[in-house]
């Protein structure tokens, strides 16, 4: 194969750089003939550091400018946290590979308590996620959920400076940053269902770039791709993003897929949760069918109120 330089588009956050360097190192090891270059791109989400994502458009805020650079030919590959990607790919782009998924769980971080149950009434828990907020309030309506944004270091600093009792962060991000030593309790799915695609990376390329598709083929993990395909199909049917409290987790074992998902109102008072299973090869169909079931159980009314229009 002809020697070439592969330009990887990435955000500047420590986590984004850690993820992109992971991809870069594997590309270099698997394809010694290529050279790589990280191209750092500032996204809208990076610029709006203290604004709740739900108020400024939600999904796509951390990837739009990177996709624009990809389509303009300024980079050859975009490295995303898959949970930041809208369910619908933009014209001219494709999801080339989904590497093996990291830990999908959320982590309860606290220097005072070892579990959510230990926090006394009126305790303060920080998160910038609607999904986490509604699940926290559904289990503990007596807590105060404090809006929290910023990269991992910023959130850990705010945990101390703002006197919070705990914060909730993605375990995958902590692992990728080498922060597994923090005082944390990993939350089971029954306690905190994750965001669609949480823990997975999405490697995005131009739709017609067959050479990049071939270069990345070794990184694609079929069980991880099938799992996120089910979750993203669920999200796409709901037209969901950071504006709506939804969560989903698919697990693939051999040729079977199990999917659990939820829809909630904005305060966690009315939370609908269902699961389904079927052939892994029918991942997207399972995601769409579970979305329809939740919509029929009352999700349509919940989401119509949030969107301000019929769904």
3-state secondary structure of 57: coil
The catalytic position among 46, 50, 84, 296 is 84
Which ranges in the chain belong to alpha helices (H)? Answer: 14-30, 44-47, 64-71, 130-139, 152-161, 171-176, 210-216, 222-238, 283-294, 300-307
Q: Is 106 a catalytic residue?
A: no
Contact of 226 with 174, CB cutoff 8 Å? no
- Burial readout 261-285 (b: 16 or more C-beta within 10 A, e: otherwise): bbbbbbebeebbbeebebebeebbe
Residues 6 or more apart whose CB falls under 8 angstroms from that of 70 comprise 9, 76, 77, 78, 93, 204, 205, 206
Query: 3-class DSSP state for residue 221?
Result: coil
The Cα–Cα gap between 133 and 17 comes to 27
Rg over alpha carbons for the chain, rounded to the nearest Å, is: 19
- List residues with catalytic annotation: 84
């Amino acid at each position: 194969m002809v020697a070439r330089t592969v330009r990887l588009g990435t955000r500047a956050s420590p986590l984004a750089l850690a993820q992109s360097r992971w991809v870069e190192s594997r590309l270099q090891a698997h394809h010694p003939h290529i050279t790589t270059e990280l191209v750092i791109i500032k996204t809208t989400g990076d610029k709006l550091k203290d604004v709740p994502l739900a108020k400024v458009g939600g999904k796509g805020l951390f990837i739009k400018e990177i996709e624009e650079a990809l389509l303009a030919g300024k980079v050859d590959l975009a490295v995303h946290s898959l949970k930041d990607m809208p369910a619908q790919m933009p014209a001219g782009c494709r999801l080339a590979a989904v590497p093996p998924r990291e830990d999908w769980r959320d982590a309860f971080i606290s220097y005072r308590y070892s579990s959510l149950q230990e926090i006394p009434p009126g305790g303060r828990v920080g998160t910038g996620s609607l999904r986490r907020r509604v699940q926290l309030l559904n289990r503990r309506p007596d807590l105060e959920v404090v809006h929290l944004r910023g990269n991992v270091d910023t959130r850990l600093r705010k945990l101390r400076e703002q006197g919070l009792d705990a914060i909730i962060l993605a375990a995958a991000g902590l692992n990728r940053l080498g922060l597994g030593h923090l005082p944390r309790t990993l939350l089971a799915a029954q306690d905190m269902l994750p965001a669609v695609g949480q823990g997975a990376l999405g490697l995005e390329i131009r739709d017609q770039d067959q050479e990049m598709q071939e270069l990345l083929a070794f990184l694609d993990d079929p069980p991880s791709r099938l799992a996120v395909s089910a979750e993203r199909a669920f999200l796409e049917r709901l037209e969901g993003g950071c504006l709506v409290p939804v969560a989903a987790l698919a697990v693939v074992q051999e040729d079977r897929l199990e999917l659990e998902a939820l829809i909630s109102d904005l305060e966690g008072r009315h939370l609908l949760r269902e699961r389904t299973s079927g052939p892994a090869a029918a991942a997207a169909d399972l995601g769409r069918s579970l979305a329809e079931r939740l919509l029929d159980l009352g999700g349509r009314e919940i989401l119509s109120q949030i969107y301000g229009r019929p769904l």
